[in-house]
Structure 1
């Protein structure tokens, strides 16, 4: 297991980036009244020297914070989906990707930082992969915001699902946090139950109001007031007109603002991890709000994201990004007191 990390500090912001997966977090934001806010969720098993952890997929070993996923989603092609999700998938070409959320989420990056005030990392992909490599830079603005730059290099033009994986802390008590989504157009629950026997939402439904999402038991759930009362794991894909989501934490008196280019990441996957997984390493002890800007069909991987016949493509939702040589992505995460 890798505990290697880059430390950075500028102004009132300091943090670290793990070389494994280039995951940023924890990050401390200091305010004028000596208040310190650390908004990222870090898994309770992360960086622990436990023999069980050596057997985990690399992406889980230091799980937490925020990192890029190229390609975004699972390797292989799920076939246990509703019929409309399986139309024409046999004719869709896959890529040589064996890792959840891509090669870069599961391997060590190289530290190429030029200053202790920022972190810069790079990684080369295997020779037969359509992606040549990634470069990731994390800096702090004069307004104490985190500024991210991601460069994706490819040898030839290729369409892939891509995404950013932000994982944020929640209060312990239900209802003490709130998702604020100003440009909501619509949303969709996962095509199948996320965790059978655990998840509470009715799968494969279109959502008109995030405060009234249909449950399996016929009731409705407000998916903006957090944490949820129910132990569960859920995935909801948002269709947005603007790349901006706020997460307010009333317990600690702050809000996180995640901003990105909606032309590059037209959707956002919300991951509600509410202590629903009872197997190792989760053991009902992980609670976080995942805010994941994507161009992807949920986390279903390359084939489903490339499938022009998928339900999301048919309603005009872009589920991939055409990479052409050198593509740059910029986005920002800031923390404000409330």
Structure 2
């Protein structure tokens, strides 16, 4: 696969690039009121690696950067290496024909439908045997240093699918120089098993009511609002929230990102804490970022687990899929503001 073309946009004090491969946004630059320019999104450090190396990894990784939609959300293969309670009822769940991590659209080239350099419009048609017919999305700029996102999912027939927005932000280098602020936090669920064997530090399959006191495998606790973590690790933590707002503050560059979405559409938020914990290519222990991902899904476990009414999350009345009815619209926003050294606007 050739390197993907990117669309550049600029409107007022915000500019950025959107890659046609995966429809991925990033980098994007925000010019703050004090005329400082900040770029909050993560861009994978390997995207300029030799083509021979990039061709050994999935398209979604070849080009990975700041933000993109995942329809369906999760891995295509059925995970069975999970605790017993996660395996009940799987035999009765129908799968779909999508062999790509985070869905067809995250691994293929979108069509550029933009009519202006001030905003981006993209679309992608899905294969004929897929329950999704088409995705369309626009990225535009508000006059308050905010990006406005609009996603439309078209289906021929009603279908239940896990969906999500995969948004990945860069972090300061030094532990604790970034901070998550989630005022509507209710409960955290760690991944059912260690995300990376012999690397991940969190106790799997736990439910916690305090994001600052997540139990580690060694019996200590860790504050997941203080980032980056001190350990080389890889973690997935599903958050129950009452409102769709998460703030990420960067004390080195003195800005905060404010990510907002409709909590009825995406009832959970998946934190992907990637802290130099993966050794294999392309990661090579060189990737450090925080994924803040609004989802209607069972972690990233894919279609069958997310549609399983017997799963532990569904038994706790946590919605893990979305009822798509033919023409469904999802909107969300990402704004960037200045802060002082104490995190105040």
TM-score by length of 1: 0.99
Corresponding residue of 1:229: 230
Q: CA deviation at 1:208?
A: 1.2
Q: CA deviation at 1:7?
A: 0.5
Corresponding residue of 1:141: 142
Partners of 2:145 and 2:337 within 8 A in 1: no
Q: Spell out, residue by residue over 1:50-102, the C-alpha distance to the aligned partner (whole angstroms, 9 max, x if none).
A: 42012210000111100000000000211000000000100101101100000
Distance 2:199 2:33 in 1: 43
Q: CA deviation at 1:3?
A: 2.7
Corresponding residue of 1:297: 298
Corresponding residue of 1:70: 71
Corresponding residue of 2:343: none
Q: CA deviation at 1:143?
A: 1.5
Corresponding residue of 2:276: 275
Corresponding residue of 1:21: 22
Q: Spell out, residue by residue over 1:90-137, the C-alpha distance to the aligned partner (whole angstroms, 9 max, x if none).
A: 010110110000000000000000110000100000000000010010
Q: Spell out, residue by residue over 1:207-258, the C-alpha distance to the aligned partner (whole angstroms, 9 max, x if none).
A: 1111000111111111110000000000000001000000000000000011
1:10 pairs with 2:7: no
Q: Structure 1: give runs of 5+ residues left out of the alignment.
A: none
- Secondary structure of the residue aligned to 1:330 is strand
Partners of 2:60 and 2:107 within 8 A in 1: yes
Corresponding residue of 1:132: 133
Paired residues, what number?
Answer: 338
Corresponding residue of 1:181: 182
Q: Call closer, same or farther: CA 1:125–1:47 in 2, change over 3 Å.
A: farther
Corresponding residue of 2:122: 121
Q: Spell out, residue by residue over 1:177-227, the C-alpha distance to the aligned partner (whole angstroms, 9 max, x if none).
A: 100001011010000100000000000000111100011111111111000
Structure 1 residues 89-104: aligned runs within 5 Å: 89-104=90-105
Distance 2:115 2:8 in 1: 12
Partners of 1:171 and 1:251 within 8 A in 2: yes
Corresponding residue of 2:342: none
1:35 pairs with 2:39: no
- Secondary structure of the residue aligned to 1:52 is helix
Partners of 2:32 and 2:337 within 8 A in 1: no
Corresponding residue of 1:262: 263
Partners of 1:89 and 1:303 within 8 A in 2: yes
Corresponding residue of 1:334: 335
Q: Spell out, residue by residue over 1:122-155, the C-alpha distance to the aligned partner (whole angstroms, 9 max, x if none).
A: 0000000000010010000121210000000000
Q: CA deviation at 1:47?
A: 3.9
- Secondary structure of the residue aligned to 2:179 is strand
Corresponding residue of 1:249: 250
Q: CA deviation at 1:2?
A: 2.5
Corresponding residue of 1:204: 205
Corresponding residue of 1:193: 194
RMSD between superposed Cα atoms in Å? 0.7
Distance 2:85 2:40 in 1: 38
Corresponding residue of 2:57: 56
Q: Spell out, residue by residue over 1:278-334, the C-alpha distance to the aligned partner (whole angstroms, 9 max, x if none).
A: 111000000000000000000000000000000000011000000001000000000
- Secondary structure of the residue aligned to 1:55 is coil
Q: Structure 2: give runs of 5+ residues left out of the alignment.
A: 340-345
Partners of 1:3 and 1:47 within 8 A in 2: no
Distance 1:154 1:237 in 2: 27
Partners of 2:162 and 2:303 within 8 A in 1: yes
Q: CA deviation at 1:48?
A: 3.7
